[in-house]
A and B are shown apart, each in its own frame.
Chain A
C-alpha cells in the first residue's frame, strides 16, 4: 500500500475547520443580535461614534485581498508562478494595511475614551458599553485571524517560491486562500453591523 495524496480530503478538512471558525464568531454574533434587539437606540448612538471611513476602506482592502488570493489559485493552476507570488504578496500587503488602519482607528477610539470598562462608557447608558465591548472583542478576534491568515499566506508563498507548491500539487495554497476568504467573509458581516448602525 503506497501513501496516496488526497487533495479532496485535505480540502474537506479545511472546510470543516472553516465551519468551526464560523461557529466561534457565531457566538459573538449571537450576543450582538440579542443585545441589538434589547438596546436598538443605544446601539445606533454608539454606531455613530464609529469611523465609517476606516471601516469602508478596510472593507475594500479585504475584498481586494480576497480577489488577489483567488487570483493566486487560478494562477498556480495555470502554472504562472510569478503571478502567484505577486498575488500573494498583494494579499499580504493588504493584510498589513488593514491591520495598520485598525491600529490608527483603535488609537483614535481609545483616546476618545471608548474601550471596555472605560470611565466614559461606565457613565453612559448600559447599551453603549455592551456595544463597544462586543466591538472590541469581535474585531480583535478578527484582527487575530488576519494576522494568522497573513502569516499562513507568507509561509505558503515561501513554499511556492521553493517549488514545493506547484501546479501539480497546490492544495496548500488552495487551503491558505480558503482561510483568507473566511477572514474576508467575517468582515463582510462585521462591517454593516458595527459601522453602519447609524
Chain B
C-alpha cells in the first residue's frame, strides 16, 4: 500500500555494459556451436543461455534490486518447472 523503498535507477552506462555482454555471449554461443560438433554442446549452449537470461533478469528486469519476496517466488517457479521437466525423464530415460 505504501512505497516501501525508493526505486533504484539503473544508469545508462550499466545498461549498455549489460547489452554488450549479452551480445558477446551470443557471439560466443554461436562460436561454440560451430567448433564443437556433437550433442554434448547442448549443455554448453544451455549454460550460456542461462547466464544470458540471468543477466536480463538481474539488470533489465531489476530483480537484483527487488525484495526477497520476488526472488523467492521466481526461484520457486523455476524449481517447479525444473521438476516438471526433470520428473518426466524418470519415464523417458528408463523406458
- A residues engaging B (CB < 8 A)? 4, 6-8, 11-12, 15-16, 19, 22-23, 26, 29-30, 33-34, 36-38, 40, 44, 52, 56, 59-60, 63-64, 66-67, 69-71, 73-74, 77-78, 177-178, 181, 184-185, 188-189, 191-193, 196-198
Lowest 4 CB-CB distances: which A-B pairs, in order? A192-B45, A196-B33, A67-B19, A70-B60
* Residues of chain B in range 52-67 having any CB-CB distance to chain A below 8 Å: 52-53, 56-57, 59-62
Partner of A63, one of B10, B12, B23, B59: B23
**What secondary structure prevails in chain A residues at the interface with B?**
helix
Known contacts A44-B39, A71-B15, A192-B29; is-contact A63 B92 (Cβ 8 Å): no
Contact between chains at A70 and B10 (CB < 8 Å):
yes
Known contacts A40-B39, A63-B23, A71-B15; is-contact A185 B57 (Cβ 8 Å): yes
Look across to chain B and name the residue whose beta carbon is closest to the beta carbon of A76. B9
Q: How many A-B residue pairs have CB under 8 A?
A: 119
Cα distance A56–B22 in the bound complex, in angstroms: 12
Contact between chains at B34 and A198 (CB < 8 Å):
yes
Contacts of A70 in B (CB 8 A): 10, 15, 59-60
Contact between chains at A37 and B92 (CB < 8 Å):
yes
Can you sample 27 A-B contacts with CB below 8 Å?
A7-B3, A8-B4, A15-B70, A16-B73, A19-B73, A19-B74, A22-B78, A23-B81, A33-B88, A36-B42, A37-B89, A37-B92, A44-B39, A63-B22, A66-B56, A66-B60, A67-B15, A67-B16, A70-B59, A74-B12, A181-B60, A188-B52, A188-B53, A188-B56, A189-B46, A193-B45, A196-B29
Partner of B46, one of A23, A177, A192: A192
**What secondary structure prevails in chain B residues at the interface with A?**
helix
Contact between chains at A178 and B84 (CB < 8 Å):
no
Partner of A33, one of B2, B3, B78, B85: B85
Known contacts A4-B1, A67-B18, A67-B60; is-contact A34 B92 (Cβ 8 Å): yes
Contact between chains at A181 and B61 (CB < 8 Å):
yes
| Proximity string of chain B (34-47) to chain A, C-beta cutoff 8 Å, 1 when within and 0 when not | 10010101100110
Interface centre among B16, B37, B62, by most chain A C-beta atoms within 10 angstroms, is: B62
Partner of B26, one of A4, A11, A56, A185: A56
